[in-house]
């Protein structure tokens, strides 16, 4: 097919190469879609994505394995244009075959061994309907072990019977098992029993209705359903779960078309955001987008390298931490040169003392206790509570071990040890029996 004769996509208006899709219901004018737009379910004018379609593809052989259908059409068109015998001109129009091959194939196929009538291709041979995939109960349902989590997720579905072991209103039969209509039955009692039967009939209808919904939408096989939903964006996935309760209001095909529309809308929103980003950064032509992405990536890489300066500034205030950091950077530089040297561990920076002036319980502390709370960074009220707890525990047992203190106080173990040593030095507790 020449470039001037190429079909144009009815959605993106781009030139299409085979294979492409032709709508069988919108024939005047022809509505064609490239594979990308067809996969997205695009619609235009009166065309709907549920219309029947055919795939235009001419790369299959018709009379022999070496000649495709497209080449057969070009051969016949060239023969009508150039006439019989001008094999050089015919081969120039075909481009894929030389003049000897054109002469031999035309004579053997259309003259020497021609079969009358010659086969004709019709659109009806390859027409199919674009319908969504719907899983039914009978389509390879999973068979999980009884009482397993998946068994309960499937509502107790039994694949061999194609039914559930627990029905909707499962004990409804118990209400009608003792009902009987006798000859001398009171009119009021008769109406009551008929009402109970009417309720039971509605229950049966509701059961069948629920099973029809499960069959139509393939809800029994959640694993296959999740595989289908993986191709949607994350926001659409959450939206599908929220819309699941409304499936009974639409047919499966209509519901799938609605979800596809939401998915297409989300893709358009993402494209609009990207276009707005390009516009805000001064990009006005599509050919400049590639360069913009390259520059953006380099800028992000440059920002990621700036954290080294941040580390230096954070370590400058602590002399020991700064020295350790410089040693670590020197080791890393040697490693990059191929010298295997173990990395020194970064020293832990000491936290600045806590300002506890004015906090609850501050006036109840001694001078040395105030210094301890500031260095250990303990709130005075919490210190007094921990102090009383450890002293009472020591009085009960006659002594107090460090392990016991750590089990009583659920704070940092280093803070607990400093508090324990302080109380021990102040003779408020003892670690050995007196």
357 falls within a domain: no
Same domain, 219 and 180: yes
Residue indicated by tokens 């006036």? 363
What is the reported pLDDT for 168? Answer: 81
Are 115 and 153 part of one and the same domain?
no
Domain presence at residue 245: yes
Within-domain flag for 155? yes
- Are 408 and 375 in a shared domain? yes
**CB within 8 A of 174, min separation 6: which ones?**
none
Please indicate, yes or no, if residue 280 is contained in any of the structural domains: no
CA–CA separation, 175 vs 167, rounded Å? 15
Pair 73, 165 in one domain: no
Q: Is 148 exposed, middle or buried (0-12, 13-18, 19+ CB in 10 A)?
A: exposed
334 and 381 share one domain: no
CB of 134 closer than 8 Å to CB of 218: yes
158 and 199 in a single domain? The answer is yes
Tell me: do 58 and 163 sit in the same domain.
no
Does the residue 293 lie in any domain?
no
From 100, 129, 158, the end of a domain falls on 129
Last residue of a domain, one of 285, 317, 350: 350
125 and 22 together in one domain: yes
Which pLDDT value is given to residue 357?
84
Q: Which of 260, 289, 318 is the last residue of a domain?
A: 260
pLDDT of residue 1: 42
Q: Among 115, 100, 110, 6, which Cα is nearest to 58's?
A: 6
Q: Would 186 be classed as within a structural domain?
A: yes
Strand 67-68 versus strand 61-64 pairing type: antiparallel
Inside any domain, residue 50 = yes
Q: How far is CA 422 from CA 27, 208, 371, 395, in A?
A: 93, 76, 11, 17
Buried b / exposed e along 393-408 (16+ C-beta atoms within 10 A) = bbeeeeebeeebbeee
Residues 331, 231 share a domain:
no
- pLDDT, residue 258, reads 83
Q: Tens of pLDDT along 106-115?
A: 888 877 776 6
Contacts of 328 (CB under 8 A, 6+ apart): 343, 344, 346
CA neighbor of 69 nearest in space, from 81, 80, 61, 78: 61
| CA dist., res. 424 & res. 132, Å (int) | 77
Helix, strand or coil, per DSSP, at residue 68: strand
- Cβ count near 293 (within 10 Å): 11
Q: Are residues 25 and 84 in the same domain?
A: yes
Instruction: Tally Cβ neighbours within 10 Å of residue 183.
Output: 4
- Helix 413-425 to helix 367-376 angle (10° resolution) is 170
Query: What stretches in the chain show pLDDT beneath 70?
Result: 1-6, 27-28, 64-65, 114-142, 152-156, 159-162, 217-218, 221-226, 228-235, 305-322, 325, 334-351, 433-434
Q: Per the domain annotation, does 191 fall within a domain?
A: yes
Is 231 found in the same domain as 180? yes
Residue 318: DSSP 8-state: S
Residue partners of 281: CB distance under 8 A and separation at least 6: 292
168 and 119 within one domain = no
Please, are residues 195 and 113 in contact by the beta-carbon 8 Å criterion?
no
| Overall number of domains in the chain | 4
Is the model's pTM score more than 0.85? no
Q: Can you give the pLDDT at residue 128?
A: 36
Domain extent, residue 374, equals 362-425
Q: DSSP label at 317?
A: T
Write the CB contacts of 246 (distance below 8 Å, at least 6 apart in sequence). Answer: none
For residue 10 the two structure tokens come to: 């009815």
Q: Which residues pair with 21 in a beta bridge?
A: 33, 55
| 3-state SS string for 232-251 | CCHHHHHHHHHHHHHHHHCC
């Amino acid at each position: 097919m020449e470039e001037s004769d190429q079909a144009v996509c009815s959605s993106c208006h781009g030139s299409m190469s085979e294979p492409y899709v032709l709508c069988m219901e919108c024939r005047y004018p022809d509505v064609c879609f490239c594979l990308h737009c067809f996969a997205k379910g695009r619609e235009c004018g009166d065309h709907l994505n549920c219309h029947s379609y055919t795939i235009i593809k001419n790369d299959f052989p018709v009379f022999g394995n070496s000649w495709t259908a497209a080449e057969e059409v070009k051969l016949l068109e060239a023969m009508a244009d150039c006439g019989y015998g001008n094999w050089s001109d015919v081969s120039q129009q075909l481009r894929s075959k030389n003049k000897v091959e054109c002469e031999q194939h035309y004579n053997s196929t259309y003259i020497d061994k021609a079969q009358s009538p010659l086969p004709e291709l019709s659109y009806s041979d390859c027409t199919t309907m674009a319908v969504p995939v719907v899983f039914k109960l009978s389509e390879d349902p999973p068979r999980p072990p009884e009482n397993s989590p998946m068994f309960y997720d499937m509502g107790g579905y039994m694949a061999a019977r194609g039914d559930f072991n627990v029905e909707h209103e499962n004990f409804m039969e118990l209400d009608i098992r003792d009902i009987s209509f006798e000859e001398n039955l009171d009119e009021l009692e008769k109406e009551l029993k008929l009402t109970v039967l009417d309720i039971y009939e509605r229950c049966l209808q509701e059961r069948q209705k629920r099973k029809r919904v499960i069959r139509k939408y393939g809800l029994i096989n959640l694993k296959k359903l999740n595989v289908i939903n993986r191709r949607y964006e994350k926001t659409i996935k959450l939206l599908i779960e929220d819309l699941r309760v409304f499936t009974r209001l639409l047919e499966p095909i209509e519901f799938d078309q609605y979800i596809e529309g939401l998915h297409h809308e989300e893709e358009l929103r993402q494209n609009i955001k990207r276009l707005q980003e390009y516009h805000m950064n001064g990009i006005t032509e599509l050919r400049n987008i590639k360069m913009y992405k390259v520059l953006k990536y380099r800028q992000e890489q440059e920002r990621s390298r700036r954290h080294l300066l941040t580390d230096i500034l954070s370590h400058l205030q602590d002399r020991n931490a700064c020295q350790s950091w410089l040693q670590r950077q020197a080791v890393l530089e040697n490693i990059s040169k191929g010298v295997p040297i173990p990395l020194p561990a970064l020293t832990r920076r000491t936290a600045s003392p806590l300002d506890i002036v004015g906090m609850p319980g501050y006036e109840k502390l001694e001078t040395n206790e105030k210094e301890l709370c500031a260095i250990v960074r303990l709130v005075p009220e919490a210190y007094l509570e921990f102090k009383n707890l450890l002293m009472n525990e020591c009085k009960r047992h006659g002594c107090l071990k460090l392990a016991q203190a750590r089990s009583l106080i659920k704070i940092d173990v280093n803070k607990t040890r400093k508090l324990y040593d302080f109380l021990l030095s102040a003779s408020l507790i003892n670690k050995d029996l007196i």
